[in-house]
Amino acid sequence: MKITTRASYTVRALLDLARHSEKGRPVRLSDISEREGISHAYLEQLFNRLKRVEVVRGKKGPGGGYVLGMDATDIRIGDVIRAVEGADKLFLCSDDTHQSKTCQRYPNCITHHLWERLSIRVHDFLNSISLADLLRDAEQLSPGEEDQDAENLS
């Protein structure tokens, strides 16, 4: 798993979807695009990946758009990021690089365990946060702070 702007945009768009979906009513990507400042075409790519792991469901036709595919408490941010970024390790140095023989320094590397442990902690942290947790955090922000926070995440 890498953490890039793709991950940031996906989490922002998913939060927007959750916040603007009233009683299961679909939200259009064009609306999310406008509110979040993310290109519509890019959102389509991201939401196609989220559909594959059933985080969202698409509804076609008039009044169509996207809805959450499961309860917000069951959507883990780690799963969301893996859906759009892949399951690669955060750092080049990991047990995977040793097993694939891409790291020549592994047997004697004094930093390997540092990067491996940090990667595990980041994964554990992201897996401990649900979309519902982020929604609760967003509710606690005042409107001015939320806008400023969104700019800081970009």
Length of the chain: 154
- How would DSSP label each residue in 26-52? -B-HHHHHHHHT--HHHHHHHHHHHHH
pLDDT at 146: 52
- The model's pLDDT over 19-38, given as tens digits with 9 standing for 90+, comes to 998 877 999 999 999 999 99
Domain 5-89+130-153 in CATH 1.10.10.10? The answer is yes
- Predicted confidence at residue 109, as pLDDT, reads 77
User: What residues does each domain of the chain span?
Assistant: 5-89+130-153
pLDDT of residue 2: 65
Distance between terminal CA atoms of the chain? Answer: 19
pLDDT digits (tens, 9 = 90+) for 59-118: 998 889 999 999 999 999 999 999 998 876 666 565 555 454 556 666 677 787 788 888
**Residue corresponding to tokens 């609760």:** 136
pLDDT at residue 41 in the model: 96
Q: What is the pLDDT of residue 61?
A: 86
**Rounded CA gap, 33 and 41, in Å?**
9
Copy the structure tokens of residue 92. 């080049």
